[in-house]
Amino acid sequence: MRRRMEKVAFVFPGQGSQYVGMGRDLYETYPEARALFDEADGILGFPLSKLCFEGPKEELDDTINTQPALLMVSVALLRTLELNQLNLLNPLAVAGHSMGEYTALVAAGALDFAHALKLVRERGRLMKEAGELNPGAMAAIIGLDAGTLEGICREAGSQLPASSVQIANYNSPGQIVISGHKEALEWAMKLARERVAKRVVPLAVSIASHSPLMRPAAERLRRVVEATPFRRARIPVVANVTAEPITAPEEIREELVTQLTSPVRWMESVRWMAAQGVTTFVEIGPKDVLTGLIRRIDKGVRTVSVGDVAGVEAFLSV
């Protein structure tokens, strides 16, 4: 098969890719997916699979549920592909966007599914508590380069010394997300409009992800991560914080803690993988958010989205 000759990376989405109904077709079609959904329900002690299939949306969108739900569906897709001999591809690297990094660690063999599920459930809980303690905001800025936006964040922070705002996600050229205290973020949004950003889009969140407001969550998550068993990754995991590969358990633990308060360097991560020879990026998880970002980052690579049964069957038939 031609796809076995390709140099492939697997990538996994984070929050924002969830939707009510995700995973239902997998559960109904593939016994291996059904077993994993049932396993997750047992581990967490409540029917997470039913929440994915039926909602309500407001409950699924609560970060304490969103994070384990996305991990469960993405790993179910991965297991389905692996059991259909996709492991013959031998990906050169794996990466995940924000919470998707936990799925990447499962794919790389560094973290068991059960431990990953408990970790992201706790991560979601701690992030929710930190957001209630230190409410913040986020916004997507379209059409400004990273250097200009970094300067805007510094300027906004200097105008409001008690507040801060920083880049949360370097998603793709011209699409960057900022995060921080609401006052500083609103000032940065005003400056972005003045610098002729194409669009400034406030996000419907009260949690300032990947900013210093998540420091209380990071400090508490460290204790949980330190108590979690990790193995050396079989496949390099391209880290959100550094956009460089990590494999050792001590590197992984530090990454997962630091990631909560640091920007996701997605553009650099994709470019690093492409520089290592990756020609095809396979997004494994609901929707195709990362596929769209990767196409804007590097038009020379091939992208494939595997987010449901139709995606699984189309990819396995190539």
Active site residue 98: yes
Catalytic residue among 164, 210, 211, 262: 210
Active site residue 158: no
Total count of residues recorded for the chain: 318
Catalytic residue among 98, 163, 179, 209: 98
pLDDT tens sequence across 184-243:
999 999 999 999 999 999 998 889 999 999 999 999 999 999 999 999 999 999 999 999
Q: What does the block give as tokens for 123?
A: 């991560």
Distance of CA 299 to the CA centre of its chain: 21
CA distance 71 to 194: 39
Q: Where are the domains of the chain?
A: 2-131+213-316, 136-205
271: alpha, beta or left? (left if phi > 0; alpha if psi -120 to 50)? alpha
* The residue type at 232: R
* Residue 29 phi, psi (nearest 5): -105, -40
Note the pLDDT of residue 2: 46
Which runs of consecutive H residues, i.e. helices, occur in the chain? 24-29, 31-44, 48-54, 57-60, 63-83, 100-107, 113-133, 146-159, 182-194, 215-226, 249-258, 266-275, 289-297, 309-316
Which homologous superfamily does the CATH classification assign to the domain defined by 2-131+213-316?
Malonyl-Coenzyme A Acyl Carrier Protein, domain 2 (3.40.366.10)
pTM score, whole prediction: 0.96
pLDDT tens sequence across 236-295:
999 999 999 999 999 999 999 999 999 999 999 999 999 999 999 999 999 999 999 999
Note the pLDDT of residue 138: 97
Q: Which fold has domain 136-205?
A: Alpha-Beta Plaits (3.30.70)
For tokens 């967490």, the residue is: 44
Spatial contact of 116 and 69, defined as CB atoms under 8 Å apart: no
